[in-house]
Amino acid sequence: MGTVCCLTKIAPFAACIPPSQFQQDNCETKPPPATMCQKPSDCDGGTVCCLSPNAGMIACEPSGLCPGGGASGTYLVCSTDNDCPSRAPGACMALPIPVDAGISLSYCP
């Protein structure tokens, strides 16, 4: 009674503590919700617009979580060829989305 569970990345990994100690003990918190995006300029703070078809999500993610090129089931969303790692002509490809969906989306394969 009167305690909360504190999870940390270093040992001890879990402990019951008074709520007043939560921040001071560096307990893990839920990450902020991802910002949705449709183009790279929708993201800031070093994040990239990431298409994750397996997760059914398009959101701003740290680049380390979105390697793109299909790695880890992720693709970088692009507006121009310069948004893709190769910057090669034709690198930014339109994703086939039905016209009635109301959006257009391109990605770096």
Residue 100 banded pLDDT, cuts 50, 70, 90: low
Is pLDDT at 7 greater than 80 in this prediction? yes
pLDDT at residue 11 in the model: 80
* CA torsion through residues 44, 66, 82, 100, sign: negative
Share of the chain above pLDDT 70, in %: 93
The Cα 45–Cα 60 span in angstroms is 10
Backbone angles phi, psi at 86, to 5 degrees: -80, -25
Residue type, 93: M
Is pLDDT at 50 greater than 90 in this prediction? yes
Q: pTM of the prediction?
A: 0.67
Nearest to 90 by CA among 107, 73, 77, 104: 107
pLDDT at residue 103 in the model: 74
Residue 101 banded pLDDT, cuts 50, 70, 90: low
